[in-house]
Amino acid sequence: MPAFKASVCLFCGARAGHDAGLAETARATGAMLARENWRLVYGAGDIGLMGAVAQAMRAAGGQAMGVIPQHLMQREVARRDLSALVVTETMHERKKVMFTNSDAIIVLPGGAGTLDEFFEVLTWAQIGLHRKPIVLLDADGYWQPLLALIDHVIARGFADASLRGLFSVASDLDDLATILHAKLAQTA
């Protein structure tokens, strides 16, 4: 019997971006995960928004599993104080281990790596490989251009309209917690 209620995979930036408000949102996300007793499953790093989530999560006494390829241990400053640290050989293996150990996926603002991770789990859902909830946190409207791109892809006939139903969009942190509660209850 695990000491946490569910495992939530986090994809987000290894950079903090230019907006201090997003770092604050990342810290609040870490605190929320600890409060809800949801285990954080993430890239193990201590930098950028992902580091901010992990720092707040650990400060609040939450549990975290970090998954990182050997070659990024230094570059992404792997934390050694996590409940579990898995060191993989490749990036692909990292994503697989993160995914298989999670009940849901949340996506905070990030860059190309975050987009890669989001599209991988989205396309896996599109071909029916899983039904794990995927939730974008649209903090400060960060993901609006991505949502417009996805709508454009659907409008031009390169994806079915159902693609838009394979993930949720949370407007703020309270909304994210509410959506996760509802989705995790459905999949339990």
Yes or no: say if 102 and 132 are a contact pair by the CB < 8 Å rule. yes
Q: Is 9 in the site for ligand AMP (CB under 6 A)?
A: no
Hey, what amino acid is at 144?
Q
In this chain, which of 46, 76, 103, 138 binds ligand AMP, going by CB under 6 A?
A: 76
Residue 119: CA count within 13 A, CB half-sphere: 11
Q: Is 62 in the site for ligand AMP (CB under 6 A)?
A: no
Residue 152 CB, nearest approach to ligand AMP (Å): 22
> Which residue has tokens 């899983």?
130
Number of residues binding to ligand AMP, judged by CB under 6 A:
17
Closest residue to bound ligand AMP by CB? 113
**Cβ of residue 164: shortest distance to ligand AMP, in angstroms?**
22
The CA distance from 45 to 51, in Å, is 6
| SS3 at position 42 | strand
Q: Look at residues 78, 36, 44, 43 and name the one whose alpha carbon lies nearest to residue 60.
A: 36
Which positions from 83 through 122 interact with ligand AMP, judged by CB under 6 A? 91, 94-95, 110-114, 116-117
Q: Which residues contact 113 (CB under 8 A, 6 or more apart)?
A: 11, 13, 14
Residue 175: C-alpha distances to residues 24, 29, 135, 168, 170 (Å): 16, 12, 10, 10, 5
Piece of the chain touching ligand AMP by CB under 6 A; list 12-20, 32-40, 125-133, 175-183: 12-20
CB of 117 to ligand AMP, least distance (A): 6
User: Which of the stretches 10-18, 125-133, 144-152, 164-172 binds ligand AMP when contact is defined by CB under 6 A?
Assistant: 10-18
Is residue 14 a contact residue for ligand AMP (CB under 6 A)? Answer: yes
43 binds ligand AMP (CB under 6 A): yes
Residues at the site binding ligand AMP, with contacts judged by CB under 6 A: 13-15, 43, 45, 72, 76, 91, 94-95, 110-114, 116-117
